[in-house]
Chains A and B, each alone.
Chain A
Amino acid sequence: MRVLLVEDDDLIGCGIEAGLRQAGFTVDWARDGHKAGLALDTTSYELLLLDLGLPRVSGMDLLKRLRDAGKDMPVLVLTARGTVADRVGGLEAGADDYLGKPFDLSELIARCRALLRRAQGRSVEVIRYRDLTVNPSAQSVEVSGTRVSLTAREWAILLQLITNQGIPQSRARLEESLYGWQEEIESNAIEVHVSNLRKKLGAKLIRTVRNIGYVVEKE
């Protein structure tokens, strides 16, 4: 799950980044509205965490531009200005949720998960697929009730495929969800991780779509 964090304050930004990483998200952190705009143009994110008081391009402008461009990813607004008017303004400009500073990291992560769930059309956190039980918040997978341990990369690929059932995911898309800006992309890594997943969870789960990538079929 790749999310974009837009926050101008260094201390808050690196705190949220670390917290989201702990929760299994892939995080890109933009410190101003301009850089955030560039990131949104070049990468597809599952979720946007947006601080409204930004230098250069304000959070509100960024949000409006995003919605005008037809991007419908969920947006969680973070701000210290928590008046009702601020919240209403933010929500009307296209935000999906609102969190006032100072907030609880666990609440922030729970809200992120809830927004992602809603965007994927699910109402419960735990995903059941045939004999598979996937729990994104606990980062756990069970096959017929037996827990299987996965690496962080395998987990990220599984999550990307199983939350987009029936939609083939390209290699590039999978790589995007796997690596943040700072990380080196290993070549052939996706094939290796997919083959490992097949070994651990069964060969029929992930189907190769020739010249495109991989898909988990709709149940």
Chain B
Amino acid sequence: MGASIRRRLMLLVLASIALVWAIALASSYRQASREVAQWEEARLAELAQMLALLDQSNLATLANAHIDVREEERGGATSANDSDDDDSLPRDALFQVRARNGEVIAGSPPLRALNAWDLPVPRVTGTQDVMLNGEMYHSFTLRDTALGHTVRVFEQANTRSDLVSGVASRIARPALIALPVLALLVWSSIGWSLAPLRILSGAIRSRGINRLEPVDIGHVPTEVRPLVDAINLLLSRLLHSLERERAFTADAAHELKTPLAAIKVQAQVALAEPDAARQRLAMERVVQGVDRSARLAEQLLLLARLDMHEKMSTAPLAPGEAARNAWIANERNAQQKNLHVTLNCDMRAAIDAEPVLIGILFDNLLDNAIKYGCEGGSIEIAVRTVKDPTRDAVQERVVVSVRDDGPGVAPADLARLANRFFRATGNQATGSGLGLSIVARIAEHFGGRVHFGRGIDGRGLAVEVSFPAYTAVPDERLQPVA
């Protein structure tokens, strides 16, 4: 079973109540026992004073009678079968009266049995606790200065603690009955207070995967409000990403339909064409169309993979190397358009990235530059290290750029270049409109920023991607050599 707020609250509340009650009980007990002690002391003193007033013959008679303290206490008013009476032991008080010379004038006979007949008498008036025959007795000594008598009264101690525990149990009993009732009340009120959480989870559980509108469960307590807000924020983000995904799927389907339509039309032309040369031309175009769909599918898959992975394994690499490889791979295409490609790379510049993806990034940039460049124009690939002006001087960035001197892109379209499936107006080259979105997505993965601007001599297009420069972590260098 997981942690339950209800059970924890329940335990905390009941434990607090029990603690407070225990403290109250303890202090009441102490108060009660102090009061009982004072009262008993006063009673013993009263008894001693009464005995001091009696003459010798009366004392002798009294010695042989029982003095039941309870009769005095109750004054005969309460009935004998009082159910509250937990003090059922006989409460006989014992006494001894001595003359000035220490001779015993009178005494309760049980004192002999308790070996207390010849106990030394304290010199002062007051209470003492004495041990008689292994049992604790309270005693009160009264020195009567007028007659010179010393009166001592004894009473068994346990009778007093009985009285005190009676008081304590009378206080504790309602608490013991109240606790279960309280527990029930606390349990149900906590359950009632947690109802909004249950309603919330019910509202979320009953949702289909396509219902992403904000959760509205009516009145929400302030404690649950942040949770509802957080869920709604998550839902709105989900909805946004789902909408983007749907738009992307629709665009992708549209883009895939175009080469398919081309393939179909060309194949049908080839089927109906009697002229062999024209038929061959149509078939070649069918192959072109298939190549185009394959490339598009590849790009879509790459984008999907890029979207899927939040984190990618990286290694320090030189973008100059990747630029050179891309240049070699695209050399033939560039030659076909008579394009002059220059490579101006700082080979020591390093970034932390994934080599295959950086290769794809350069491929896309170069492919675009070749596709949209002018016949006989030039392309410039550069990799350089710059100090990042927005941070402290220690921070370096590696800027990768591909510039051409083609027709370029209208300023209004620059901002939309990295949008998926966007193709700048007025271009004739066949493209999916995904190349720069892929570049932007790859750059994003490795902390890069993409910037579009004017190309060579203020003409054409320049695409710049700046990555944080890779620097060996200082800690690695400091590691002791084994």
Contacts and interface: CB of A to CB of B under 8 A. Distances in A.
B269 to A, nearest CB: 4
Task: Tell me the dominant secondary structure on chain B's binding face.
Answer: helix
Contact of A15 (B257, B265, B427, B430): B265
Interface string B396-431: 000000000000000000000000000101111010
A18 B278 contact: yes
Given A18-B269, A22-B273, A101 B257 contact: yes
Interface in A175-208: none
A32 B423 CA distance: 13
Interface in A1-20: 9-12, 14-16, 18-19
Contacts of B289: 11
A101 B273 CA distance: 22
A106 interface: yes
Interface residues of B, number: 28
A102 B260 contact: yes
Contacts of A10: 428, 430
Contact of A22 (B261, B266, B269): B269
A15 B262 contact: yes
A167 interface: no
Nearest to A20: B269
Contact of B430 (A9, A32, A103): A9
B473 to A, nearest CB: 49
A218 interface: no
Nearest to A105: B268
Nearest to A32: B426
A12 B265 contact: yes
19 contacts: A9-B261, A11-B259, A11-B285, A11-B430, A12-B261, A12-B262, A12-B265, A18-B278, A31-B428, A55-B425, A55-B426, A56-B426, A81-B254, A102-B257, A102-B260, A102-B263, A103-B264, A105-B264, A105-B272
Interface of B: 254-255, 257-266, 268-269, 272-273, 278, 282, 285, 288-289, 292, 423, 425-428, 430
Ranked nearest first, the 3 interchain pairs of A and B with the lowest CB-CB distance are: A15-B265, A11-B262, A102-B261
Interface of A: 9-12, 14-16, 18-19, 22, 31-32, 55-56, 80-81, 101-106
